[in-house]
Amino acid sequence: MLGLLARTMAKPAIMKPSALVKPVSVTKIVGRYLAHQEGLPKLPVPPLKQTCERYLAVLEPIISEEEMSHTRELMAEFLSPGGVGERLQKSLERRARKTENWLSDWWLQTAYLEFRLPVVMNSSPGVVLPRLDFQDRQGQMRFAAKLIAGVLDFKTMIDNQTMPVEYLGGKPLCMNQYYQILSSCRIPGLKRDTVVNHALGKTPPTHITVVHNFQFFILDVYNSDGSPLTVDQIYMQLEKIWNSSLQTNKEPVGILTSQHRNSWGKAYSNLIKDKVNKESVRAIQKSILTVCLDAPMPRVSDDLYRSRVAAQMLHGGGSRWNSGNRWFDKTLQFIIGEDGSCGLIYEHAPAEGPPIVALVDHVVEYTKKSEMIRSPMLPLPMPPQTALQYHARDQEGHREGQAEHEHNGT
């Protein structure tokens, strides 16, 4: 929650580890949600003594009395007048005066972008939604179309600044992260990743990525007049995509994004040396979100279904199934299977959980609405398929990165 509460975190109280904290609910008030941003307080730097006391309180249950006694001695030295503690505290306070949030960038860099283990299973949460009542591709396409329309409806509230403002304890919360969850993507690096967001650019993206049988398509979801496509229009486009991607022997290039970040960083730098690959990858990265139309997973008993679908949302089930039907660097990926399974996985760096939860709640409610009366539609062009290919030189870079990863034991 550090990112979401960036500028509004109240001064924490000192609590013993055994104390119970009463849950505090977040309320929403309708209004232009960026109107409150300028008045939000900066994230305060806790007093040095309070920070140290909380540190000791956390350590006490997990270390021996001897270790605790030694730590208290070190802490007393740290807190001595003119000592290291005071100098570091003053440095933090200077940083806090110059920034809106002295912690958020450090948190982003250290907790996420410098973290080199694969994002899959280590930092990207999977979310399982209630099982749906279809068992065929028509149901899969129809639900996917409504889901996409629901995301676009949510996006309209963000773009128009009509998102309800969230309040905690009667005070408005920072809403900046709502702009980070769409049209954003993590970019692999050799030692540190970056995050790009295109939502506030001069020409914000108007397309999503749809992936089926490991093949990536660019689907424009807005009409020429700027209005979003209707559910029926989206459905027809998804049908075209499905029918043109029936081959199941395509290279699962997306599975590269599940690798150790250093390995993927090397493979990525080789992958985008090819001009066509670079354009294809950029289109995926810039897209509003990714929708994964999964092939059927192995049938299991009802008792095992929850575990199977959880694995599907977390990692796709492995290379034999749908793990190549992903771009794990993408911030938001909705996953719809032919068997009624549905959920999402999101890359955690751009935002904490609450904006994702708000979007998912909105989309789920939107998909429950009865469909509007259909009207005649003008035919839309076939969504273009990316020409993403994994060449021999990419494989060489991938192997080099993998060898380095294994040598370092990380």
Q: Where are the alpha helices (DSSP H) in 287-391?
A: 302-315, 353-367
| Residue 36: C-alpha distances to residues 80, 174, 181, 221 (Å) | 41, 8, 20, 31
| Residue 203: C-alpha distances to residues 197, 222, 336 (Å) | 12, 13, 29
Note whether 341 and 299 are within 8 A (CB): no
Joined together, the tokens standing for residue 250 give 């395509």
Burial class (CB in 10 A: 0-12, 13-18, 19+), 392: exposed
DSSP 123-149: TB-EEEPPPPS--SHHHHHHHHHHHHH
| Residue 325: C-alpha distances to residues 160, 224, 257 (Å) | 33, 30, 11
Distance CA 60, CA 90 (A): 27
Distance CA 268, CA 253 (A): 11
Vertex 154, ends 31 and 147: CA angle to 5°?
155
Joined together, the tokens standing for residue 15 give 């609590």
Which of the residues 198, 212, 260, 348 is marked catalytic? 348
Distance CA 87, CA 62 (A): 29
Joined together, the tokens standing for residue 377 give 């539609």
Helix crossing, 48-59 with 84-98: angle to 10°? 110
Q: Catalytic residue at 348?
A: yes
Note whether 246 and 382 are within 8 A (CB): no
Note whether 200 and 158 are within 8 A (CB): no
Residue 243: other Cβ atoms inside 10 A = 11
Distance CA 214, CA 177 (A): 30
Note whether 182 and 362 are within 8 A (CB): no
Residues forming the active site: 348
